[in-house]
Chain A
Amino acid sequence: MSPLLELVIIVAIKSAILIFIVVTSFAYLMLAERKVLAWFQLRVGPTWCGPWGLMQPAADAVKLVMKEDLTPSTADPIIYKLAPALAAFTALLAYAVIPFGTLPDGRPIAIANPNAGVLYLLAVGSIGVYGIALGGWASQSKWPLLGAIRSTAQMISYELAMGLAVVGVLLVAGTTNLAQIVSGQSAHHVWYVIPQFIGFLIYAITATAETNRAPFDLPEAETELVAGFHTEYSSLRFGTFFVAEYINMITVSAIATLLFLGGGDGPFAGALPWLTVVWFLAKVALLLFVFIWMRATLPRLRYDRLMAFGWKVLLPVAVLNLIVTAAIVAFVR
């Protein structure tokens, strides 16, 4: 067996396992969201499917599969069918570089550990909007069109601030390698959320907007745009958009954990390397809880206010944060 083939097979097996884990965690994130929202709202949430409602995701999946798959007669058939696949595909791409923890020999637990990991994440994150924009456009329907326009505008205005917030971390860390950013935080015993607190806030806000979550869920605002960009989608194609949204939530939480919260760093993580995975997942879960918490609490922003907030508040603050960080880093080094 040639070394190349061997490499391909190993990566393929790793990827398959990872995709399985991510999709399962999506399913239980959905259940967790329904449960947590229910607790916020004096309800009990799903209880009928399995003990404590644990089989609810499976029931939902079966239900979605059995629904009729409709394509509007005026829709562009190819793009219409491509869009959800694109959304889910780009959502999964990010996991190629995310280090979930550290092996005993110090190597990161990740499929790949490229030196430009952060840039890769930003790049695949940006492609995600195509799924939404194309899906809304190809539906040839008015509500999805409005959703797609909102989504595109929102992505463009928030991506910039998000990129600048991430650059702040890169300046402090002095590398774009995710594993090194994480090990830098544990080596200096300071998570970058402390030196880059403003950057963290900006990242948190823009990440919420990027994933179309409340209070920035304008592209799919149910009470305004019916369901936004996926109004016309049904069956598994709708399900795929749904998967993409939730996986994106996990992705941005994972990135925030890596860049700002020390990745797998935590008490005893140095002595027991397997704890790094636990700490990493615990931090991601905490951030996901915050997502759900915000959904239970906050009303939705208005479209024009959202844009104004992105361009007039977040972007200048992000630039300022970057300049100050750059100046401090230049003086210290």
Chain B
Amino acid sequence: MAAGASAFEGGPDIIVSKGDERDSMVLSMGPQHPSTHGVLRVMLRLDGETVIDAQPEIGYLHTGIEKQAENLFWQQAITVVDRADYLAPLSNSLCYVLAAERLLAIDNIPPRAQVLRVMFAELTRIASHLVWLGTHGMDLGAQSIFMYAFDMRERILRIMEFVTGARMHQSWFRIGGLAIDVPLGFLAEIDDFIAVFCERLTDMRTILEHNIIFKDRMVGVGRIGAADAVSWGLTGPALRASGVNYDVRKAFPYSGYETYDFDVPVYEGGDCYARFIVRLDEMHQAWRIIKQARERFPSGPVVIDDRKIVPPPKTEIQHSMEALIHHFKIVSAGFNVPEGHIYQAVEGPRGEMGMYLTSAGGNKPWRVRWRPPSFYNLQALKKLVIGNLIADVVAIIGSLDPVFGEVDR
């Protein structure tokens, strides 16, 4: 192949091979491929089964989330940002809500809301990592782990449904706190989960961690060094597996993460196996955080008492004219946010999930710019897969764990 020239220019004509490319084959992996985790398309140029060039193509799941958010009131936009990383909806909305709160200069979020936000962000992280664990195992041919992981995820989703009424797009966080308080019986549910999860995680880990075939597929595959990982903009488990200790929860704490005792797993390998171990360790750390959050669990309100931003409780609306007006204003016209712009990041399951919000002073965001960790992590794909086999492409995509809802937005 000519140096520097892309083999994939010109759309469908790429199948035509010429000159010394005669021995290679172009293969379109995706967008409907079982292991591209949604709708990634990778154009592969193959020599036998060895990848000699690769070109990821994204955009098949573009839903215009950023643009939609611009046409919704500040509090309504939570429902669309939830849908970006659809495996970690609460992390998305946490990011958006924190950014909006900083624009509004709200710094008196009630402690109960803070604790519940952390607890549910970590539950979301575990649920997301469990989907990754199941599908990643499945990609490598280990079928049963998929069911074990989804069984555990189901428990988390049941808790989510119990608390928020929705399994996937909870939209439970609000600017100023939470939508509703947890129902009676929640503590028993979460205690049950805390008691079961650690043991089940160890079980799931045991199935694959030292499996000879599994290690053979993972160790040394898709290796990326610390310097490369930083310059490609990798974050989250993919970065920490390359030996860089960067976690937004430690570096720029939010929602009171600085008061929790947890470790950031960092490994040096930089390969698929290191990313695998990092995520497993992260699940354990998330479990520790949930346990600490459960031990604190303060009482009190779950939302700030600011009638300009948070609608008053229903009971009050029924007998207070003023409360009714506040409710009507917030529902029909939203609230204005002071002019300004802000970047707020949270540590999502896939890495630094960032939100750059611009307000022109109106009741809708002027610009919602998303920094989806998957999008940046996925950029390294081309570098990682060249020289590997098709089977490794599957392993590498799985270990980067992209979610196309947020890549394409």
Q: Return B44 CB to nearest CB of chain A, in Å.
A: 10
Q: How many residues from A make CB contacts under 8 Å with B?
A: 30
What residues on A are CB-neighbors of B202 within 8 Å?
none
B138 at the interface (CB under 8 A from A): yes
| Residues of chain B from 18 to 62 with CB closer than 8 A to chain A in the complex | 25, 27, 33-35, 49
- The proximity string for A residues 271-307 relative to B, scoring 1 for CB distances below 8 Å and 0 otherwise, is 0000000000000000000000001111111111100
Known: A146-B390, A222-B34, A303-B389. A295 touches B216 (CB 8 A): no
B303: min CB distance to chain A, Å? 39
At the interface, is chain B mostly helix, strand, loop or mixed?
helix
**A-side interface mostly:** helix
Other-chain residue from A143, A150, A225, A295 in contact with B143 (beta carbon distance below 8 A): A295
B151 at the interface (CB under 8 A from A): yes
Determine, out of A36-44, A89-97, A256-264, the stretch whose residues face the partner at the interface.
A36-44
* Stretch from A119-127, A129-137, A213-221 contacting the other chain: A213-221
A161 to B160 CA separation, bound complex (whole angstroms): 54
Docked-complex contact A300 and B147, CB < 8 angstroms: no
The stretch among B86-94, B169-177, B206-214 that forms the contact with chain A is: B206-214
B217 in the interface, Cβ–Cβ < 8 Å?
yes
Q: Mark A293-333, 1 if CB is under 8 A from B, else 0.
A: 00111111111110000000000000000000000000000
Once bound together, how far apart are the Cα atoms of A40 and B214, in whole Å? 19
Is B82 on the interface with A (CB-CB < 8 A)? Answer: no
Residues in B neighbouring A69, C-beta threshold 8 A: none
Tell which of A41, A143, A146, A295 touches B147, judged by Cβ atoms closer than 8 Å: A41
A226 close to chain B: CB less than 8 A: yes
Q: Tell me, rounded to whole Å, the shortest Cβ–Cβ distance linking B355 to chain A.
A: 33
Contact B148 A299 (CB under 8 A): no
| A74 CB-CB contact with B under 8 Å | no
Q: How far is the CB of B136 from chain A (nearest CB, A)?
A: 10
List A contacts of B214 (CB < 8 A).
Answer: 299
Look across to chain B and name the residue whose beta carbon is closest to the beta carbon of A302.
Answer: B391
Asked if B392 CB lies within 8 Å of chain A CBs, one says yes
- In angstroms, Cα B216 to Cα A37, docked, is 24
The listed residue (B35, B151, B211) touching A299 by CB distance below 8 A is: B211
Shortest B10–chain A CB gap in Å is 19
Closest beta carbon of chain A to B14's beta carbon, Å: 13
B141 lies within 8 A of A215 (CB)? yes
Query: B33 to chain A: closest CB distance in Å?
Result: 6
Instruction: Give the distance in Å from the alpha carbon of A300 to the alpha carbon of B216 in the complex.
Output: 10
Instruction: Given A142-B27, A221-B391, decide whether A41 and B148 contact each other with a Cβ distance below 8 A.
Output: yes
Instruction: Report Cα–Cα, A142/B29, bound state, in Å.
Output: 10
User: A224 an interface residue at 8 Å Cβ cutoff?
Assistant: yes
* Residue A2 at the chain B interface, CB threshold 8 Å: no
Residue of B whose beta carbon sits closest to that of A145: B25
B residues 186-240 with Cβ under 8 Å of A?
208, 211, 213-214, 216-217
Let me know if B17 is at the binding interface, CB within 8 A.
no
Contact, CB under 8 Å: B141 / A223: yes
Q: Smallest CB–CB gap between B41 and chain A, Å?
A: 13
Q: With A215-B213, A222-B34, A305-B216 known to touch, is A298 a contact of B142 (CB < 8 Å)?
A: yes
Is B144 part of the contact surface with A, judged by Cβ < 8 Å? yes
- Whether B271 sits at the interface, judged by CB under 8 Å, is no
Q: How far is the CB of B89 from chain A (nearest CB, A)?
A: 25
Q: Note all chain B residues with C-beta closer than 8 A to A218.
A: 391
* A and B contact pairs by CB, cutoff 8 A, 7 listed: A37-B143, A43-B147, A225-B390, A296-B144, A302-B216, A302-B389, A303-B390
